Amino acid sequence: MATRRTSLVTGSDQGIGLAIARRLAKQGSNLVLTGFGVPADEAAICKQVEADFGVDVIFHAADLSKADQIGGLVAAALDRFGGVDILVNNAAAPRRPVSVAQMDIEEWDLAVAINLNAPFHLVQAFLPLMLERRWGRIVNIASVFGLVGTANRAGYVTTKHGMVGFTHAVAAETMHSGVTCNAVCPGLTMTPRQEREIALIARTEDVSLADAEQILARRLVAEKFLSADSMAAAVGYFCSEEAGDTTGVALPVDGGQSAVR
- Ramachandran angles phi, psi of 17, nearest 5°: -60, -45
- pLDDT confidence tier of residue 1, bands split at 50, 70 and 90: very low
What are 3-58's pLDDT values in tens digits?
Answer: 799 999 999 999 999 999 999 999 999 999 999 888 899 999 999 999 999 999 99
Both 69 and 197 in a single domain?
Answer: no
Q: How confident is the model over 79-84, as a mean pLDDT?
A: 97
**What pLDDT score was predicted for residue 261?**
67
Cα–Cα distance list, 166 to 82, 118, 195, 243 (Å): 25, 12, 30, 19
Both 205 and 179 in a single domain?
Answer: no
Both 204 and 99 in a single domain?
Answer: no
**Structurally, how many domains does the chain consist of?**
2
Both 232 and 220 in a single domain?
Answer: no
Rounded Cα gap, residues 3 and 26, in angstroms: 15
Q: Reply yes or no on whether 156 is catalytic.
A: yes
DSSP 220: S
Both 12 and 117 in a single domain?
Answer: yes
**Bridge partners, 180 (sequence order):** 137
**What pLDDT score was predicted for residue 100?**
95
- Give the helix/strand (H/E) hosting 137: strand 136-141
DSSP 227: P
Q: How confident is the model over 233-247, as a mean pLDDT?
A: 98
Helix locations, 82-117, DSSP H? 105-112
Both 16 and 95 in a single domain?
Answer: yes
Both 147 and 210 in a single domain?
Answer: no
Both 170 and 215 in a single domain?
Answer: no
Identify the active-site residue in 81, 126, 145, 156.
156
State the burial class of residue 190 (Cβ atoms within 10 Å of its Cβ: 0-12, 13-18, 19+).
middle
**What pLDDT score was predicted for residue 222?**
53
Both 184 and 195 in a single domain?
Answer: no
Both 168 and 241 in a single domain?
Answer: yes
The CATH number of residue 234's host domain is 3.40.50.720
Q: Is residue 1 part of a domain?
A: no
By residue range, what is the domain housing residue 208? 190-225
Find out whether 174 and 180 touch, Cβ atoms under 8 Å.
Answer: yes
Both 163 and 124 in a single domain?
Answer: yes
Q: How confident is the model over 233-251, as a mean pLDDT?
A: 98
Find out whether 113 and 65 touch, Cβ atoms under 8 Å.
Answer: yes
Both 196 and 177 in a single domain?
Answer: no
Of the listed ranges 57-71, 141-155, 166-180, the least confidently predicted one is 141-155
- Give the helix/strand (H/E) hosting 62: none
Nearest to 147 by CA among 186, 89, 114, 118: 186
More confident call, 199 vs 23: 23
CA dihedral 197, 201, 202, 203 (to 10 degrees): 100
